[in-house]
A and B are shown apart, each in its own frame.
Chain A
Amino acid sequence: MHLSQSLISGNLFEKRLISRKQKKDKFRKNVAIVLTLTSMVDVFSMLVVFLLQTFSSSPEILISKGVELPASHTAALIREAPVVAISHDGNIYLDQKEVGETGKVLRNPDVLLGKLNKIKLDWLKNHPGEDFTGDINLQADKATPSTTVSRLMGILTSGQFQSIKLAVIGSAVR
């Protein structure tokens, strides 16, 4: 008795279940979202092409704090070398380390010359049998008086750093 009842009810239940499933399936079909990846792949590809075009193999030289470099359209690629910077706050930095106040350093360049000499000796140790190239990058704020820069150039030259490269923002690097 129980079994027959259950069978009957089971049939009813099954029917309901089937109808509910059919409804669910219909509903699912309606909800299913088609995600078109084409546009995303397009954007990604364009980004990759753009970034590859702008990719530069030149060495990354940090611009010292408080230095606004002048722009130049005839500049060449920069080479890796020690960096001397004259910042807007009136200090001189050698490889991001403060050397002293610009006026004082220019009047008494012994501290700077000592540090430059150490760099030179390190270079000679690392490049045995080679002549010292004397490469140095000079970063100066564009508002710095030109005489200050030229005086610093004189100090660098006397410290045997004769190949001075003025760091600039290159608009068309050659």
Chain B
Amino acid sequence: MADTIGLTRRKRDMNAELNLTPFIDLLSTCVCFLLVTAIWIEVASVEIKQHHGTEAASSPKESYELDVVFKSPTDISLNLKQNNRRRKHFDVKASSFDEVITKLNDVVANQLMMKDKKITIAQAMITPRSTVDYGNMVAVLDVLRSHEIVNIGVISTR
């Protein structure tokens, strides 16, 4: 009997009243602040190194360069160059642009080799065409960048 009384007394002592009001106030303020300052559309950037005037044009003599020439949105030709001499040529053609991107991905990943050795592309140059949208050009840039070709320029005509 005494034990039970002791237990209940102990239990009563353990019950603490936690005032949740300031905690909820703080949480509400936090939620409001974060909702107001949240950026829902993340704008990022892709750096381009232009042909004229930047270090993109200057590369070591023994390095490889890749020319990406748009013929149409579904036809891209790739020229692999070494010391300004064309060493290999690839035509990437398909019925849709998505297929072209898949094929281009495959070519850049598996076929850009010299004597069965994987080579490093020092720089790439993209030649645009009026029939090709900017969105398509960015998609090609994305493929090149995903294969660690980051020194990319776009040939600009004035």
| Chain A residues, CB < 8 A from B37 | 55
Secondary structure of the A side of the interface? mixed
Q: Is the CB of B45 within 8 A of A75?
A: yes
Q: Is the CB of A74 within 8 A of B146?
A: yes
A40, A70, A153: the one contacting B154 at CB < 8 Å is A153
With both beta carbons as reference points, the residue of chain A lying nearest to B128 in the complex is identified as A146
With both beta carbons as reference points, the residue of chain B lying nearest to A44 in the complex is identified as B27
Number of A-B contacts (CB under 8 A): 164
B28, B41, B54, B128: the one contacting A147 at CB < 8 Å is B128
Nearest CB on B from A81, distance (A): 9
Q: Is the CB of A149 within 8 A of B134?
A: yes
**Bound state CA distance, A163 and B52, in angstroms?**
11
Interface flag for A84 (CB, 8 Å): no
Asked if A48 meets B30 with Cβ closer than 8 Å, knowing A63-B41, A74-B146, the reply is yes
Interface flag for B109 (CB, 8 Å): no
- Report B62-120 residues with CB < 8 Å from chain A CB: 70
Asked if A51 meets B31 with Cβ closer than 8 Å, knowing A73-B146, A150-B156, A173-B44, the reply is yes
| Chain B residues, CB < 8 A from A56 | 39, 42
Interface centre among B24, B128, B132 (most CB of A within 10 A): B128
Q: Is the CB of A166 within 8 A of B50?
A: no
| Chain B residues, CB < 8 A from A73 | 142, 146
| Chain A residues, CB < 8 A from B146 | 73-74
With both beta carbons as reference points, the residue of chain A lying nearest to B55 in the complex is identified as A162
A18-26, A95-103, A134-142 - the one binding chain B? A134-142
Q: Is the CB of A155 within 8 A of B133?
A: no
Nearest CB on B from A137, distance (A): 6
Q: Is the CB of B132 within 8 A of A72?
A: no
Q: Is the CB of B20 within 8 A of A37?
A: yes
Interface flag for A169 (CB, 8 Å): yes
Interface centre among B23, B46, B131, B145 (most CB of A within 10 A): B46
Q: Is the CB of A54 within 8 A of B134?
A: no
With both beta carbons as reference points, the residue of chain B lying nearest to A60 in the complex is identified as B39
Q: Is the CB of B30 within 8 A of A58?
A: no
Mask for B1-31, Cβ within 8 A of A = 1, else 0? 0000000000000000000100110011011
Interface flag for A79 (CB, 8 Å): yes
Q: Is the CB of A58 within 8 A of B39?
A: yes
**Bound state CA distance, A145 and B131, in angstroms?**
6
Interface flag for B141 (CB, 8 Å): yes
Nearest CB on A from B11, distance (A): 20
With both beta carbons as reference points, the residue of chain B lying nearest to A79 in the complex is identified as B45
Nearest CB on B from A70, distance (A): 4
| Chain B residues, CB < 8 A from A158 | 158
| Chain B residues, CB < 8 A from A145 | 128, 130-134
**Bound state CA distance, A157 and B153, in angstroms?**
12
What are 8 sample pairs from A and B whose C-beta atoms fall under 8 A apart?
Answer: A40-B24, A76-B46, A140-B134, A157-B50, A157-B156, A167-B43, A168-B44, A168-B45
Q: A44-B28, A145-B131 are in contact. List 7 more A-B contacts (CB 8 A).
A: A48-B27, A72-B141, A77-B44, A143-B133, A147-B157, A153-B154, A154-B52
